[in-house]
Amino acid sequence: MFSIPVISDRHEWARFGGLKLYDALLGYTDWVMTPPVPPALTDPAPATRAAEIYAELKGRLLSHRYRMGDVLREEEVASWFGASRLPARDAMRQLEHEGLIERSGRRYRVRHYDYHAVQVTYRMRAALEHMSVELAVARGGAADFDRLAANLDAQERLVEAPDRAQFTALDIAFHLDIARLGGNPMLVAELSKLLDRVRLIRSDEIGRDNGPAAALEDHRRILHAIRRGDAASAKAELDYHYATTVRLHDATTGP
């Protein structure tokens, strides 16, 4: 079975440039992985408009409405929202900062994650989620696990839904809710940013993956292991869950 090497100790995090994040997650420092956001605009009206465009465009990006590499022109984005290019540009710069779009010459495009980038993304995800399940097992209770089960029941109702974005939203919520059980806000925040990129990558996988039903079964096995206090099995189930996705990406041709 395909496996993803997990960044499991301080030495490995150092190799991938995440040593300060590793220490922060364990309470050694207060460092945050994401670099500072550019300062807000001084004019509140453009700033507010940019925030609206940012939120709406991000929602579209994470709802599988675009494929990786699709071109996004500032003037077109501005026209979609009846805005000038300035707030559209500011919104797109923020999305670039978050790893969801990228510059391509004088234009933007939906960021393309090649095979190497997908591998790195999932290795980082595995490291964070392994920590999540360890904390969830240690700190979660029956009521917490029941809420996770309710999410899975909602997922089941959407398995045949024509809009895959609805299932994806619950899928991401399930993983973040596990992280929240650990009571570590930094872990939740960093995982949330990473899962946004996973959602973007998933837009190129729909139609080639095993579909929502298979993902739901993976989620049930993960929750079952957490319920019985078996963090090792939960992490193994997570690794299998990742592997079914990563193997869709070819080292030569890309997704």
- For 107-140, the pLDDT digits (tens) are 999 999 999 999 999 999 999 999 999 999 999 9
Is residue 168 domain-resident? yes
Domain that holds residue 62: 44-110
Please tell me the predicted confidence (pLDDT) of residue 253.
Answer: 45
Is 235 found in the same domain as 169? yes
Last residue of a domain, one of 110, 141, 162: 110
Is 143 found in the same domain as 193? yes
- Please give the mean pLDDT across all residues of the chain: 84
Give the whole-angstrom CA distance, residue 222 versus residue 237: 6
Please tell me the predicted confidence (pLDDT) of residue 30.
Answer: 39
Please tell me the predicted confidence (pLDDT) of residue 13.
Answer: 46
pTM of full prediction above 0.85: no
What integer is the mean pLDDT of 93-107?
A: 92
Sign (positive or negative) of CA dihedral 83, 86, 87, 90: positive
Last residue of a domain, one of 56, 89, 110: 110
Is residue 37 domain-resident? no
36-91 pLDDT per residue, tens: 444 444 444 556 899 999 999 999 999 999 999 999 999 999 999 999 999 999 99
Helix or strand holding residue 110 (H, E): strand 107-110
Please tell me the predicted confidence (pLDDT) of residue 81.
Answer: 92
What integer is the mean pLDDT of 223-248?
A: 95
Is 139 found in the same domain as 26? yes
Return phi, psi of residue 108, to 5°. Answer: -105, 160
Is residue 3 domain-resident? no
Identify the DSSP state of 108. E
CATH of the domain at 188: 1.20.120.530
138-154 pLDDT per residue, tens: 999 999 999 999 999 99
Please tell me the predicted confidence (pLDDT) of residue 34.
Answer: 41
Is 211 found in the same domain as 133? yes
Is 176 found in the same domain as 135? yes
- Work out how many domains the chain is built from and give that number: 2
Is residue 138 domain-resident? yes
Give the whole-angstrom CA distance, residue 65 versus residue 105: 23
What integer is the mean pLDDT of 168-189?
A: 96
Please tell me the predicted confidence (pLDDT) of residue 122.
Answer: 94
Give the whole-angstrom CA distance, residue 155 versus residue 148: 11
Of 45, 53, 96, 100, the closest CA to residue 76 belongs to 53
Is 130 found in the same domain as 168? yes
Is residue 189 domain-resident? yes
Of 182, 193, 173, 168, the closest CA to residue 130 belongs to 182
Is residue 77 domain-resident? yes
10-43 pLDDT per residue, tens: 444 444 444 455 454 544 443 333 444 444 444 4
Is 127 found in the same domain as 99? no
Give the whole-angstrom CA distance, residue 192 versus residue 168: 13
Alpha-carbon distances of 202 from 49, 86, 187, 231, rounded to whole Å? 29, 30, 22, 26
Is residue 15 domain-resident? yes
- Through-space distance between the first and last CA atoms of the chain, rounded to whole angstroms: 20
Is 225 found in the same domain as 124? yes
Give the whole-angstrom CA distance, residue 93 versus residue 45: 17
Is the per-residue pLDDT at 92 higher than 60? yes
Q: Specify whether the CB–CB gap between 242 and 122 falls below 8 A.
A: yes
User: Exposure string (b/e) for 165-201, b if CB count within 10 Å is 16 or more?
Assistant: bbbbbbbbbbbbbbbbbbebeebbebbeebbbbbbbb
CATH of the domain at 50: 1.10.10.10
Last residue of a domain, one of 110, 130, 147: 110
Please tell me the predicted confidence (pLDDT) of residue 3.
Answer: 53
